[in-house]
Structure 1
Amino acid sequence: MSIRSLQALCLTSFFIADVRDGLGPFLGIFLTQRHWQPDDIGLLMTAGGVAGLLATLPAGFITDASKNKRLILALLCVLITSTTLLLWLSQANAVVAFSQIVSGICAAFVGPLITGITLGLTGQKGFSAQMGKNEAFNHGGNFITALIAGGIAWYWGIGGIFILMTCTMLLTLIALTGIRSSDIDDNAARGLESGASAQVPDFSVLAKNKPLLITGLTLLLFHLANAALLPMLSMRVAAAPGAVNPGLYAAATVIISQLVMIPVAIWTAGRIDRVGYWRLIMLALLVMPVRAALAASSAAPLMMVPVQILDGVAAGVLGVVVPSFIVVLLRGNGHVNAGQSVVMLMQGVGAAMSPALTGMIAGHYSFATAFSVLSVIALTALLIWWRYAPLLSPPSCMETR
């Protein structure tokens, strides 16, 4: 494997962190400051999520079949940034909906493409270690840009975030040029063994894989509980007059979680062989009910510190373990990225519905009630994972028990 290409991949992971999610947690604040209501914001965020869902399965199959993953990723970064910049010009319903839909579709491709490029550069043997590095750099990118975004929001307001996103998009494109196309083995990138011939995409191969579907269902519930928690924390602060600067608060929530994710991602990559996939995913699932319960227990701005520390633990573990687990589950069938997209689709269902669900609960009842519901959903995900432990940790998955 090429050291130069792997280093460029790490830099790509660093810079793309700020590009992939558009305005991210600042979207709710940006629209709230322009007199949008929580339920309306939640519905539009859901529209973007649904669009992303429709693109998720095609994204995985296209990634498996693609011979130029770098170019596709570069074009997607440009599209995400361009459509997000439209929000600065207009906050009309149609413009916001268009921006979120296009961004959602493009973002659906980013995960499979990064995974495919990584697997194509390292092969299966070095995949987990490199994914740990990718995630560490990705979280580092989120941390640095959130730190900068907090300063921009403090001095110039939320509008300055658009400039920051444009700069990180340009830096992502530069980093991508450092990855040599010749270093990417397209067969290895889709999970085929050396010398194997490419296979025709066949969804039935994935639909019959029970461990894959159970993993997807568990993560669907996890993201249904998780996706809206951070935006709702920021919106609760923005809706409370005279509390703290909402832009600075949103940046602080991201900074705290990203600082935790960096060492957790590195730690996780080094523990997979010893601890095992099932136990590490169980650890992440245990965190979520506690996190939601803490958010429900108090509206004090400082409560976000333990809430976001726990978020860093869960996200740091899942970001490394889940892609590696899927690579092992689907080794040799040529559908690794399509399998990633199946799980991402199911995660996306939960993430897309989460803002609408919590937005309606918060709008009609209270933020505390919404967080309590999220905690119950997270407990359900935990119970499902525990129930199917024997199926999810067979010897074929190289699990250390």
Structure 2
Amino acid sequence: MTTTDSPELKRSLWALDGVNFFLADVQAGLGPFLGVYLINKETWNPANIGLILTLGGAVGLLLNAPAGALIDATRHKRALLAGAAALTSFGTFIVTLKPTFAIVTAAQLLTGIAGVVLGPVIAAIALGMVGPKRYASQTGRMQAFNHAGNVMGSAVAGLAGYLISLKMGFWLASLFGIFVVLATMLIKSNLIDDDVARGLQPKDDGGDDKPSGFRMLLRNRPLLLLAAVVGLWQLANAAMLPITGQKLAVGNTGDGALYQAALIIVAQVVMIPMALLVSKRGDQWGRKPLMVAAFLVLPIRGVLFVLASNPGEVIAVQALDGIGAGLQGALFAIMVADLTRGSGRFNVAFGAATMVQGIGGTFSPALAGAIDQAFGYTTAMLSLTAIAIVALGLLVFTVPETRTPAQEPPETVDAESSPSPVG
């Protein structure tokens, strides 16, 4: 593995930043904008939209761990990344052809399959390029570029939806998929250490070249607890933005697109400094205090959404999502890497933990959509808020700090002085 920032490594890391930036543009049309696109079309209502948004995530629930095992084993990570990005781009495009249930379902299935690969393979490439000591810093940097891309993508989709047609926003988002593929090709494959990318210790630090058995995942109690509480957090969080955007969009798709863009952009702008905070201070302050802050703002946001009485107030409240999702998004992969260091099973563990997280995110729109349809927006939002409070309590009392002591290198921390990841 390259251990210094040679010009070649710098160029490849910038290309990886480009992947994160443009991939966010591709994905900007999915989810919330899809709900805005469908809400005023015949046969589509909050319950149906919640169901269709659930399908995209459901397809990946059984594929996350196998995809992680594939990423651990393959030496063609760039090809996987480019292929998944192209599939996402295609799925974003076909949803605009004719928004029937069959076509929208097919699009959600395609993007769901691609989404299973995208997060873990980007994380693996980054780990393989910079190693475990710099992984937290690199992850924060990549998340900052991802949020910046979301700002641009949401602005493009929102303005296109208001000035031209929401379809144009989807088409432009699909076009950005080509840029993702081009940026991926600029990453030098020889700079990716495939052993380090799967979570093995670097050989120059005395690491073992054989991965642990799969049973280590089931015996790693902190990893299981982390996945469970983040899954609950996603169950509470994932539907808050879509149902709020749909509430603002009812009766006016054009203004709804602008409102949805504003809701996304205000959060993503705040997420950029949050991701950089993780990059700069995650090793010094620890992971858990920052994760607790991420969980704390979610129930506050839910209550304030209920109290907000006009679009301006709703958009201001959405800034809190920038704190919560900005911190949680950067910290999750870092904490999984902490808890699997040296095992050689990082991507399997990340895939399995992402599966649990995805269960929450997948069922959140369906749950909130059904409650919204039956009892109204306020009841749906308060239900999500209650789930967020439960997740916060479990995080505080059950999940340990995963950072190794700052005064010692992660690879040489004595087993008696560092918390064991295996319970």
Query: What is the TM-score normalised by the length of structure 1?
Result: 0.95
Which AA in structure 2 matches 1:377? I
Relative distance call for 1:200 and 1:236 in structure 2 (3 A) is same
Aligned mate of 1:347, from 354, 357, 360:
357
2:97 partner amino acid:
L
The corresponding residue for 1:261 is 271
The letter of the residue matching 2:418 is S
Identify the residue that residue 12 of structure 2 maps to in structure 1: 5
Partner in structure 2 of residue 19 of structure 1: 26
- Structure 2 residue 78 is matched with structure 1 residue 70: yes
Alpha-carbon offset, residue 6 of structure 1: 0.6
Contact persistence 1:120–1:185 (CA under 8 A) = yes
Query: Are residues 1:396 and 2:422 paired?
Result: no
Residue 303 of structure 1 deviates from its aligned partner by 2.4
Question: Which residue of structure 2 aligns with residue 302 of structure 1?
Answer: 312
Q: Tell me, in whole angstroms, the C-alpha distance in 1 between the residues paired with 2:182 and 2:241.
A: 31
Alignment of 1:48-67 (within 5 A): 48-67=56-75
Correspondence for 2:187 among 176, 179, 186: 179
How many angstroms does 1:97 deviate by? 1.3
Residues 83-232 of structure 1 mapped to structure 2, 5 A cutoff = 83-195=91-203, 196=207, 199=210, 202-232=213-243
Residues in 1 aligned to 2:158 and 2:90: alpha-carbon distance in whole angstroms:
22
Query: What is the alpha-carbon distance in structure 1 between the residues aligned to residue 279 and residue 24 of structure 2?
Result: 19
3-state secondary structure, aligned to 2:156 = helix
> Any conservation in 1 of the 2:27–2:173 contact (CA below 8 Å)?
no
Shift of the 398–308 alpha-carbon distance from structure 1 to 2, 3 Å rule, reads farther
SS of 2:196 mapped into structure 1: helix
Displacement after TM superposition at 1:307 (Å): 2.4
The answer as to whether partners of 2:39 and 2:46 remain within 8 angstroms in 1 is yes
1:197 CA drift (Å): 5.9
Distance 1:299 1:361, change over 3 A: farther
Q: Tell whether the 8 Å contact from 2:287 to 2:401 is kept in structure 1 after alignment.
A: no
Structure-1 residue corresponding to 2:368:
358
CA distance in 1, matches of 2:380, 2:266: 23
Q: Read off the aligned partner of 1:189 and give its amino acid letter.
A: A
Question: Secondary structure, in 3 states, of the residue corresponding to 2:132?
Answer: coil
Distance in 1, matches of 2:80 and 2:264, equals 28
Greater Cα shift, 320-329 or 4-13: 320-329
- Aligned residue pairs total 398
8 Å CA contact retained: 2:157, 2:173? no
Contact 2:162/2:257, CA 8 A, preserved across alignment: yes
Matched residues in 2 for 1:362 and 1:372: separation?
11
AA matched with 1:221: L
Cα distance between partner residues in 2 of 1:251 and 1:22: 10
Which stretch has the larger CA shift, 95-104 or 226-235? 95-104
Separation in 2 of the partners of 1:18 and 1:397?
39
* 1:325 corresponding residue in structure 2: 335
Sort the Cα spacing of 1:4 and 1:87 in 2 relative to 1 into closer, same or farther, 3 A: same
2:346 to 323, 336, 346: 336
Q: Secondary structure at the match of 1:245?
A: helix
The code of the aligned residue for 1:306 comes to: A
Give 1:33 deviation, angstroms.
2.5
Tell me the distance in 2 between the aligned counterparts of 1:397 and 1:354: 33
Aligned to 2:36: 29
Instruction: Note if contact 2:222-2:400 (Cα within 8 Å) is conserved in structure 1.
Output: no
The one-character-per-residue Cα deviations of 1:48-101 (angstroms, maximum 9, x if unpaired) are: 111021221112111111101111111111111212222111222222112111
> Which letter maps to 1:40?
N
For structure 1, the residue ranges without an aligned partner over 5 or more in a row are: none
Q: Deviations over 1:102-121 (max 9, x none)?
A: 21111011110010000000
Letter of the structure 2 residue corresponding to residue 23 of structure 1: L
Q: Does 2:281 correspond to 1:271? A: yes
Structure 1 letter corresponding to 2:10: I
In 2, distance between residues paired with 1:203 and 1:32? 44
TM-align CA RMSD: 2.0
Please state if 1:80 is matched with 2:88: yes
- Three-state SS of the structure 2 residue aligned to 1:81 is helix
Distance 2:314 2:35 in 1: 17
